[in-house]
């Protein structure tokens, strides 16, 4: 098989693995929002069996474990495959990082079942899930023909530079997801999450406006900025809907189906918002020259003039 065909194949496999991780995030959110986290008291088996009785909350918890095992296998294959392919950039390293995150995530899942401390461990588990997801999302870009090709290098004389601004936005979105996970799992209240939403909205609007003003003719940057705005806007609407659903379900003995659907959508849209911000950041670092190179280029142009 030609090298270009192998590169396309590993890219497609990275996309499949990242897509499977979205299903894993859905399964995890279903466990949390159906109050099924304590349905299975042992790990890695379930009631001492490979396949437990699929009743009640056990269905959600067991489905989560099965999908997690599938994602772990896909990630292992991807990491080994990347180690055997010649690619430009850090794709090989990130493949091994993704595999290490799989093992760490499995360990946290086992700790949640065996050792208790549900608020702390569950928040850490949810946080690591998001980091694992964006690692795989990054690999879909790092293995793409676009990243592997020869791209023009752009200058950015504005302040703050898009590279820095997009990175700070990504960090803010990640922290916001941690605050949301902490709220869902009872680690702390909702006020930090609400404050984080304001910060994320401000940074995302600032970043998207910077892309539009300075790089409006660069589709490889604009597409991710547009997705960031679309996902964040949807996420904010889902946040209001989630607050309403929580208020409506307070008197319910079992989780209300509408509440579960809204909360799961809220979790997934948060992950997609983070993914769009990560892709914008990576594209910025791929296309925009570092500050030192821009300064040297500007000095050379002045000298020639």
Q: Where are the domains of the chain?
A: 1-150, 153-305
Q: For residue range 130-167, what is the model confidence (pLDDT) as tens digits?
A: 999 999 999 999 999 999 988 889 999 889 999 999 99
Q: For residue range 15-31, what is the model confidence (pLDDT) as tens digits?
A: 999 999 999 999 999 99
Q: How far apart are CA 92 and CA 21, in angstroms?
A: 19
- Name residues whose C-beta falls within 8 Å of residue 43's C-beta, 6 or more positions apart in sequence: 109, 110, 113, 114
| pLDDT beyond 50 at 296 | no
Contact 44, 115 (CB under 8 A): no
Instruction: Check residues 76 and 244 and name the one with the higher pLDDT.
Output: 76
Residue 303 has a pLDDT of 47
Chain mean pLDDT for the chain: 88
User: Long-range contacts made by residues 230-234, C-beta under 8 angstroms, separation at least 24?
Assistant: 231/269, 231/272, 231/273, 231/276, 232/200, 232/201, 232/204, 232/273, 234/269
Residue 116 has a pLDDT of 66
| pLDDT beyond 90 at 214 | yes
**Residue 115: pLDDT band with limits 50, 70, 90:** confident
Contact 42, 65 (CB under 8 A): no
CB-based burial label for 14 (10 Å; 0-12, 13-18, 19+): buried
Percentage of residues of the chain with pLDDT beyond 70: 90
**Residue 176: pLDDT band with limits 50, 70, 90:** very high
pTM, rounded to two decimals? 0.89
Q: How far apart are CA 154 and CA 169, in angstroms?
A: 21
- Name residues whose C-beta falls within 8 Å of residue 263's C-beta, 6 or more positions apart in sequence: 29, 32, 33, 184, 242, 245
| pLDDT beyond 80 at 89 | yes
**Residue 119: pLDDT band with limits 50, 70, 90:** confident
Q: For residue range 239-267, what is the model confidence (pLDDT) as tens digits?
A: 888 877 777 666 665 667 888 889 899 99
User: Based on C-alpha coordinates, what's the Rg of the chain?
Assistant: 21
Percentage of residues of the chain with pLDDT beyond 90: 57
């Amino acid at each position: 098989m030609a090298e270009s065909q192998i590169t396309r194949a590993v890219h497609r496999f990275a996309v499949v693995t990242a897509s499977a991780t979205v299903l894993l995030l859905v399964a995890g959110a279903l466990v949390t929002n159906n109050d099924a986290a304590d349905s299975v008291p042992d790990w890695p088996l379930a009631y001492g069996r490979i396949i437990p009785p699929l009743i009640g909350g056990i269905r959600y918890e067991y489905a989560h474990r099965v999908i997690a095992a599938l994602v772990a296998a896909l990630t292992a294959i991807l990491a080994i495959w990347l180690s055997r392919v010649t690619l430009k950039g850090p794709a090989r390293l990130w493949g091994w990082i993704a595999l290490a995150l799989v093992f760490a995530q499995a360990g946290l899942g086992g700790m949640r079942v065996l050792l208790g401390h549900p608020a702390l461990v569950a928040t850490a588990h949810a946080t690591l899930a998001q980091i694992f997801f964006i690692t795989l999302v990054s690999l879909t870009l790092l293995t793409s023909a676009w990243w592997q090709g020869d791209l023009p290098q752009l200058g950015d004389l504005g302040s703050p530079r898009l590279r820095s601004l997009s990175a700070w936005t990504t960090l803010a979105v990640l922290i916001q997801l941690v605050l949301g996970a902490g709220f869902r799992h009872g680690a702390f209240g909702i006020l930090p999450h609400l404050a984080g939403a304001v910060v994320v909205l401000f940074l995302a609007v600032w970043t998207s406006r910077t892309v539009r003003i300075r790089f409006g003719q660069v589709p490889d940057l604009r597409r991710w900025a547009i997705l960031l705005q679309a996902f964040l806007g949807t996420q904010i609407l889902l946040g209001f809907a989630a607050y309403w659903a929580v208020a409506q379900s307070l008197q319910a003995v079992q989780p209300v189906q509408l509440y579960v659907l809204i909360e799961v959508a809220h979790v997934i849209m948060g992950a997609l918002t983070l993914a769009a911000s990560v892709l914008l950041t990576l594209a910025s670092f791929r296309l925009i020259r570092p500050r030192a190179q821009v300064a040297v280029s500007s000095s050379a142009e002045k000298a020639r003039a």
